[in-house]
Amino acid sequence: MPRGRWLSPFLGAALAVVVLPPPAARAGEASDVCSRFAEVEAVGTVADPELEEISGIATSRRHEGVLWAEEDSGNDAALHALSQQGERLGTYAIDGAEAVDWEDLAIGPGTDPAQPAIYVGDIGDNGADRSTTTIYRVAEPDAPPSAAGGTLPLLDRTEVAYPDGPVDAESLLVDPDSGDVVIITKALLGPSQVLRVPAGALGAEATVEAEVVGELEVPPDLALGEGLPGTAVTSADVAPDGSFVLVRTYQALLAYPRSADQPVAEALAGEGCSAPVAQETQGEAVAVTPLGDAYLTIGEQAGAAVNRVAVAPAPSSGEGADAGGDGDSSDLLPVVVGVAVAAALILVAVVLVRRWSRPPG
């Protein structure tokens, strides 16, 4: 073997140590978003005894402290304005809409992208026999909700079909970057489908076929327990800043970290963590506040509790860095060790070069 080949392993190893980042950086592991969540706090009850089947909620972007709620199948095509403590503020019919099986609410861009709208998901289909389901976009009232109530204008409606035929779904959210609507089906066993309705197709006159963009499976350990199946996804929402996505089931709440500009469906393909949630009777509603500083949940029953979980701010990209000498010195340890090992390997290589380059004798 030529003498120079003795040096290749040393030089290669030294180069690898110097060039390759630490394993944690290579893996790109997402931080545990659930570490940002506080404990569950009951902050009120739904005061109106007639609201006993709340299946979806969304926090207003126009009126501070206002929570919009809808009821399940068999109820009127109307939205109910509540305070975030459950006090009744007013009921608003939606002009031109009908309620077959309303299951979730979301906030997203309206027909004017600068004006947020309420998305009403008439997507329930317990018998899996609806050829199409409907997404309504509704404008919020200009004035704060009042006991007199009123009528909300319908911006548009979108008839949606699924590629594999009718399927039950209870979860709808809007991607904060693309404006696409994401629907998660309600599977009792096995994975649920994640479906996408492109933002550009909303309001189309013809039926829009949703696209299957992924799957979501609730971990078995979160699906066990008494009551309704914990595998059944019943609601979802995304933080206004897009940093996390919440997916609710009857027995659990999953949180998925989401990086900047990452499609929601891609975030849902990652690993979720178990977020704090109250044990509610038939829990079917979750919503993140406009500032992203809390999320709220409500169950289906008369006088249901309004439960709140505070959310700490997302860490900034530079948090913990040694920008001014105050960073965590433990972050530098892998770098220091790597440089030391590389230096030792190079030193060994130099010694060998000198030894082999001496004349014989």
* Rg of the Cα atoms in the chain: 27
Question: What single-letter DSSP state applies at residue 199?
Answer: G
Please determine, for residue 320, whether its predicted confidence score (pLDDT) is greater than 80.
no
211-239 pLDDT, tens per residue? 999 999 998 787 776 778 888 999 999 99
Q: pLDDT: is 134 or 11 the higher one?
A: 134
- Measure Cα distances from 164 to 128, 131, 159, 211 in Å: 11, 11, 16, 10
**Is residue 127 very low, low, confident or very high in pLDDT (cuts 50, 70, 90)?**
very high
Please determine, for residue 81, whether its predicted confidence score (pLDDT) is greater than 70.
yes
**Is residue 359 very low, low, confident or very high in pLDDT (cuts 50, 70, 90)?**
low
Angle between helices 8-19 and 333-357 (to 10 degrees): 160
Q: State what percent of residues in the chain have pLDDT above 70.
A: 78
pTM of the prediction?
0.80
Q: Which CATH number fits domain 33-311: 3.10.590, 2.60.120, 2.120.10, 3.40.50?
A: 2.120.10
- Angle at the Cα of 245 from the Cα atoms of 301 and 88, rounded to 5 degrees: 35
Q: Residue ranges of the domains in the chain? A: 3-27+330-357, 33-311
Q: Tell me, what's the pLDDT at 328?
A: 43
CA distance 137 to 3: 75
180-213 pLDDT, tens per residue? 999 999 998 889 999 999 999 999 999 999 999 9
Amino acid at 356: W
Asked whether the CA dihedral 141, 284, 187, 275 is positive or negative, the reply is positive
